Amino acid sequence: MSQTSPPDVITIGETMVLVTPFEAEPLETASSFRLDAGGAESNVASHLSTLGTPAAWVSQLGDDALGRRIERLLRERHVDTRWVRRVDSAPTGVYFKDPGNGVQYFRAGSAASGMNADTISSVPLESARLVHLSGITEALSASCAAMVEAVISRVAAAPALLSFDVNYRSALWTVAQAAPALAHSASGADIVFVGLDEARTLWETRTPDQVRAMFARVPYLIVKDGDVGATEYSSAGTVFVPATPTDVVEVVGAGDAFAAGYLNALLHGHDSAARLQAGHERAVLVLQSTSDFLHIHT
């Protein structure tokens, strides 16, 4: 993608260096590791770029070796990084993936947590076909929450679609803090991705239909139910597509892959069932690996 042409998709959020043991060994005993770039929004941009949809990622990185590594890795995935800022007052965040045991984050006070409304002041959100956010960003700091609000306001007044992945992270904020904030952000989006489990935690909604009742005005609502499948609610009706069976190695990053597969299909004009199937197929690639992102064309 030319660095002068506007991208089809702009994603905004934190990316950290992801440290993963080789051979899916646990952190406690592993002796060799792979360093990669990992973050919900840049994962989505990476998958989209691999699928042929021009995508940019907007964020802040520390002016350090890890920040430079992240930017290089994303450029290698053909992600547009022209609006990424470097700051020398805070470090790039790091997280460790412990296969079978989740993740450990070291992100407090990271460069990305200092993002604010000015971070996006020069980003042409209005020129994109779609802007993608996740609920992780607004949990990082008050200034990040203000930036998310600014993005929602700008995109609402533009032709671009706004995509929002709820992505509740209990390590970042409590249910009492997150529930109203995430409901507010989701209500301002055109496309919302939410796991049935996190919807139950946040809003005590027990079924996909109950989630739909809560977000009745969202044009495209996608409720994911793990290995059961996913349901899309839109003006065309309600469509359920079962998940693709697979042997799961690690679930982290699969939601980002699903979102990217779905969004890519949506931008290419595919119908509801095809969009959901594209999401499942992309997610399977990540579920079968310890990596959040795979350099695999589908």
- Greatest C-alpha distance within the chain: 52
What is the arithmetic mean of pLDDT over 40-50? 96
Residue 97 to residue 103: CA distance in whole angstroms: 4
Tokens of 189: 């989006």
Q: Considering only CA atoms, which of 211, 237, 229 is closest in space to residue 276?
A: 229
Q: Closest Cα partner for 280 from 262, 264, 295?
A: 262
Distance between CA atoms of 97 and 43, rounded to whole angstroms?
15
Listed range (28-37, 99-108, 221-230) with the worst mean pLDDT: 99-108
pLDDT at 297: 39
Cα separation, 63 vs 4, in Å, equals 24
Q: How many CA atoms lie within 13 A of 58 on its CB side?
A: 27
Identify the pLDDT of residue 249. 60
Rounded Cα distance, 107 and 110, in Å? 5
Q: Dump pLDDT digits (tens) for 190-208.
A: 999 999 999 999 999 999 9
Which residues on neighbouring strands pair with residue 134, listed in sequence order?
Answer: 165
- pTM of the complete model: 0.92
For strand 60-62 and strand 16-21, is the pairing parallel, antiparallel, or unpaired? Answer: unpaired
Query: Whole-angstrom Cα distance, residue 254 to residue 165?
Result: 12
Per mean pLDDT, which range of 10-24, 79-93, 242-256 is the poorest? 242-256
Query: 9-287: what fold?
Result: UDP-N-acetylmuramoyl-L-alanine:D-glutamate ligase (3.40.1190)
